[in-house]
Amino acid sequence: DHLSEGQRLRAECAAQRHRQRCPKICVIDPNNWLDSWHQRFKALGIKWLRSPAGAHPDIFDKNSLLAFAHQKDRHHELLESGAVNPELASLPEVGSGLWNLPSNALFEDFCSDLASCLPHTFLHGKVASISGHDGDFTVKVLDSSLDVKDVKDGLVGDEKKPSYRCRELTAKAVVLALGVPGPAAVPAALSAVPEKLMFHSDFQLGSRLKEVNHKKVLVLGGGLTAVQVAQLALKKNCKVVLVSRRPLTTRHFDINEKWFDRRKANVYHYEFFQKPVEERLKHIRATRGGGSVPPMYMKEICADSRLTFKVGEVELISVQTDSVDVAVDGKVQRFDLIVNACGHRPDCKELPLIKELLQTAPVDVVGGFPTLSQDLQWGDFKHFFVIGALASLQVGPDAGNLMGLRRAAQIVANAMDVRAWLRDTKSVLGNIRGNRYDALGSDSDSDSD
């Protein structure tokens, strides 16, 4: 029997839904399920995940991705991460393969299989505003083709006569999972470069990366995305100059491996939560270190003579019709295209939805991040939650990564007590959270009667 514990539990959940009423969950997103993930990875041609096989969305079972790989006879799509040192080698999960890296294809198929079991309603659209109070929130949702400013300008009708392209939903609870904590970071020195000659690597989910072809390209950034953009450009016969403000740092994961060691991770999280909010911000910056590159990527790019590394600042010299002159390390070079891979700067006040929320339900903002309760609640609300990178001050340096998202999801689930419907059963065996040992005792008693 190759079913993972997570698959068994999801099957039990499905059976429970036929007997009891479970919470109704609506997911609102402009794109299809995990579409942003798919498009970004496809645009950059990423084959392997950086996160290990133990980092995935299945809350029930940390081994379920491994079980899925073996079920589908795809265990060859698990790559040795190289992160295991003698100190970590004694961990049981190392031997089981949880520290291996899954291929992106395997991970996407696993997530699709996971999503197929969800009872959620999926709604295509953009959230323009959230109002109301605990137990009675109103969420205004726009058609995916519209923008928030269209509502402000009155282009989709007014409050009394809303257009069919704008609808309102009511909800007892709201969870914000917005992804990036702020706008794209753009080096001030290059702010005058026109859009046709410079774009952010994440613009429209990487759609403009197809323009990187047979050109001289300047790539800005010191993290993995910058290196992946440089690799893509090399594959498309470009001459590439990669400029970072500091020397590239080699690290297997976004954060140090110690945060993945369950013997110590709780201690690191405890120490993090004991710090004042301002100190937490410094701790996050120090832990993440402004971006890093896994050793296998570093080895590949160092071996390619078409790529030039530079450390320092850039200066815009002049802009031509189809090229840009930039001073790199004091030497002026002409580039056909500039790709900005400097990530996103934390500044939640620049996110339209958060900007409006701060006006109606203000909270303190520290270093661009909103301050939340320990249960990730916004302000005085008890059923309005924030997860993802925006919750970094309350989750930790890995808030925007898969492991941090799993912890955040568990916090929210516990705070809302959404598992109560699973406990309301007459039989212990019918209770997904029941004690199987007690169930055996109950069965023995009934047999003796």
Query: Is the distance from CB of 312 to CB of 328 less than 8 angstroms?
Result: yes
Q: How many CB atoms lie within 10 A of CB 419?
A: 13
Q: Helix crossing, 5-19 with 64-71: angle to 10°? A: 100
Q: Residue count of the chain, please give it.
A: 449
Position 22 scores a pLDDT of 61
Residue among 55, 17, 5 at smallest CA distance from 406: 55
250-286, pLDDT tens digit by residue? 999 888 877 777 888 888 888 899 999 999 999 998 8
Tokens, residue 364: 């303190």
Q: Tell me the three state secondary structure of residue 216.
A: strand
Q: How many CB atoms are closer than 10 A to CB 405?
A: 21
Secondary structure (3-state) at 279:
helix
Rg (CA), the chain: 24
Q: What pLDDT does 287 receive? A: 84
**CA distances in angstroms from 355 to 176, 211, 269, listed in the order given:** 13, 33, 29
Tokens of 421: 């419907």
438: its two tokens: 């007690």
Residue partners of 274: CB distance under 8 A and separation at least 6: none
pLDDT at position 44 is 95
Cα 410 from Cα 62, distance rounded (Å): 13
Q: What is the model's pLDDT at position 83?
A: 86
Residue 192: which residues within 8 A CB-CB, separation 6 or more? Answer: 316, 319
The Cα 207–Cα 372 span in angstroms is: 34
Helices 104-115, 35-44: axis angle to 10 degrees equals: 170
Beta bridge partners of 101: 79
CA–chain centroid gap for 157, Å, is 34
- The reply to whether the predicted model has a pTM over 0.85 is no
Smallest Cα–Cα separation from 247: which of 178, 189, 310? Answer: 310
How does pLDDT run along the chain (449 residues), one tens digit per residue? 445 666 666 666 655 554 455 668 899 998 888 888 999 999 999 999 999 999 999 988 889 999 999 999 999 999 999 888 888 888 888 888 999 999 999 999 999 999 888 888 889 899 999 999 999 999 999 986 655 554 444 444 444 444 447 889 999 999 999 988 999 999 999 999 999 999 999 998 899 999 999 999 999 999 999 999 999 999 999 999 999 999 999 999 888 877 777 888 888 888 899 999 999 999 998 888 778 999 999 988 888 888 999 999 999 999 999 999 999 988 999 999 999 999 999 999 999 999 999 999 999 999 999 999 999 999 999 999 999 999 999 999 999 999 899 999 999 999 987 655 555 455 555 544 444 445 444 444 444 33
